[in-house]
Amino acid sequence: MAKSIDVSDLDIYYGDFKAVEGVNMSIRARAVTAFIGPSGCGKSTFLRALNRMHEVIPGARVEGKVIVSGQSLYDPTVDPVAVRRQIGMVFQRPNPFPTMSIYENVLAGMRLNSKKLSKSDADGIVEKSLRGANLWNEVKDRLGKPGMGLSGGQQQRLCIARAIAVSPEVLLMDEPCSALDPISTSAIEDLIHELKSEYTIVIVTHNMQQAARVSDETGFFNLKAAGQPGHLVEFNPTHKMFTNPDEPATEAYISGRFG
């Protein structure tokens, strides 16, 4: 079941360096939320903080709260591995496991979670996940072939199938189309539209046209000044952000006058 995410007073650090400061926002369930902004402003760092992947980096930490359905994800009693099952991530470059078949790539998350699966259950999960990623008809006759043998766009959809196989509630996508051609990008964007009926989707993109096409709400991140933390300048419905933003800095970025 898709869940909303409430973020309050979130500061994100790499060691002593504060990378992101003072984020407050609510991310709606069953909607697509996009984050835009110049390189180095903290939007991908913020995305990784939403499923505790940020803290995998030595010395990285957060202060503040990320709440999903009343549960603070950074509570000391919460298992970060369980958080990452609940909130999956698709990365910038497709990353199928190179030694695994298409079939085993889809099941990789289930295997890592020590799930004992019958052959029929495994077959069902693979088919459902590949159908969910709009890839089933293209690969159903070569499930035993290496995942790395697929095209770039197919590999990214395979990674999405792998992410949804463990039944997450939220899907995070960090520049999911930046390494893809326009046709593959269009396929991923169509898929995002379809998936939002079942998942809460949060996407980071440098492509403002993509944010305008796929998202319901958009946040603009920017640096306060060179060497200063990134912060959330504005968060609004996407149509408003791209036609009548509240902040002059947002309008300047969207119009191409800086960034």
Pairwise CA distance, residues 62 & 78, whole Å: 15
Q: Dump pLDDT digits (tens) for 172-222.
A: 999 999 888 898 899 999 999 999 999 999 999 999 999 999 999 999 999
Q: CATH second-level architecture of 28-49+78-254? A: 3-Layer(aba) Sandwich (3.40)
Q: Dump pLDDT digits (tens) for 92-123.
A: 888 999 999 999 999 998 887 766 888 999 99
CA distances from 85 to 79, 89, 150 (A): 10, 9, 25
pLDDT at 114: 65
CA-based nearest residue to 108, from 117, 72, 211, 250: 117
pTM, rounded to two decimals: 0.91
Question: Collapsing DSSP states into helix, strand and coil, what is residue 250?
Answer: helix
Number of alpha helices (DSSP H) and beta strands (DSSP E) in the chain: 10, 10
258 or 136, which is more confident?
A: 136
pLDDT at 180: 86
> Which of 22-26, 67-71, 171-175 is the least confident region?
67-71
CA distances from 93 to 24, 66, 205, 254 (A): 29, 26, 13, 25
pLDDT at 120: 93
Q: Dump pLDDT digits (tens) for 125-151.
A: 999 999 999 999 999 999 999 999 999
Q: How confident is the model at residue 258 (pLDDT cuts 50, 70, 90)?
A: low
